[in-house]
Amino acid sequence: MTLLHSLLTLDALNFGSLDFLFWCLPAFLAAYYLAPAAYRNAVLFAGSILLYALAQPHFVLVLLASCAVNFWLGARLSSKPYFIAAILLDVLLLASCKAAVLAGLCKALPVGVSFFTFKLISYQADVRRGVIPPESSFLRFAAYVSFFPQITSGPIMRYGDASKGLSSPGASAAAMEEGLRLLILGLASKILLADRIGLLWNQLSVIGYESISTPLAWLGAFAYSLQLYLDFAGYSLMAGGLGLLLGYPYIENFRHPYASRSVGEFWRRWHISLGSWFRDYVYFPLGGSRAGKGAAVRNLLAVWLLTGLWHGGTWNFLLWGLILGLLVTGEKFGYGQFLGRHKILSHVYLLTAVPLTWVVFAIPDLGQLGLYFTRLFPFFGTGSAVVDPGDFARYLSMYGTLLAAGCLCCLPVLGGIYRRVRQRPLFLLLLLVLFWTCVYQIANASSNPFLYFQF
């Protein structure tokens, strides 16, 4: 009973937990590489399901049923009714899970349902279009769907990318080294920067938006923008590192998005796997821009409204998706060329517009959201820009160093520096120091799940 209780209380799918780093991951890697290559897909599937069951035992049957039904339908996609049935069932699963949470029928979504459902839809669509052949092995198919490094928050790896890892399970020594490097860098991004910067946004919520000055409101918006990026990009680095450890290709999910010069470019660099999924499986099938400007505007707005719904069913997510759709459409058919001619102005535009959209994303209560915007733009609300004249300086002194470090992590030059120094002994020593600093931080603070776990 003691052993069973210990297993059930493991924080099994939170990559930033000591349970995962020191128990779940080492045990899985040992089992995976001690098994003969022919049995590694079985170990991957069994291990992924076990980790999922430890995280959410009451939802593991949802994942298994999705695998079974989609595998059966996937072998029959030459018939259009089976293809339509597969897509409708996957969409219905995702929509019903989100509706149940919004209606209060259950407290949380099944872990990763948004991500593994999109993987299933992409598989069915690619088989139907002849991009990939239908998978004949249920074990390989289920290992792909339940792949634990990506099941909680992506990236959304397509079956064509996963097939090489499934065909030849196991990684080279060089890939494993790179995987460990990315794992540590992602962990440091999450634990040492995102979680600590996130305290600022949490404190503003506790203070009450009506009690913060306009400069502090803007600082909070920028802080949340950095927190979300460092958290999700950190998770994606860890997921990519884990995939490399198992012999799977690295799926790039972020490409320095805050270096962009337009909102459209930002979203081509942010959560790349999701953006490309909506492009290939929604925007292009709707007709893209082939039928003229009017159809393109309609299709873009449809994609962005669906993106908002995918993230959540509350009004703020719909508003967030609509705002992004209008901005992207405006850039594509209006002021995009003007931005292209003005380098500095375009960066200022991006670094102003995107944090404002993240405020809409972050605050589900529309009343509180409106209140926050009256602090950002006090001339539209009541009162002055200064409520507490010393709050901005006080919080900047507390978080300035962390915010500066977070801004440095947004610079594209870091990628080139990393490629030059990643194998140097001094850098490896730095990684070791970062890892144990993260462990110390985790051990002395409560476990903080990745932000995108809720989607």
The residues that are catalytic are 311
Evaluate whether 127 touches 76 at the Cβ level (below 8 Å).
no
Q: What are the angstrom distances between the C-alpha of 45 and each of 26, 121, 152, 229?
A: 16, 20, 15, 30
Phi/psi of residue 283, nearest 5 degrees: -65, -50
Which amino acid, residue 70?
Answer: N
Task: Say how far apart CA 44 and CA 57 lie, in whole Å.
Answer: 18
* Cα-based angle 361, 241, 262 (whole degrees, multiple of 5): 35
Evaluate whether 23 touches 39 at the Cβ level (below 8 Å).
no
Evaluate whether 294 touches 362 at the Cβ level (below 8 Å).
no
Task: Say how far apart CA 158 and CA 277 lie, in whole Å.
Answer: 9
User: 118 is written with which tokens?
Assistant: 């999109």
Please tell me the chain's helix, strand, coil percentages from 3-state DSSP, rounded to the nearest 5: 75, 0, 25
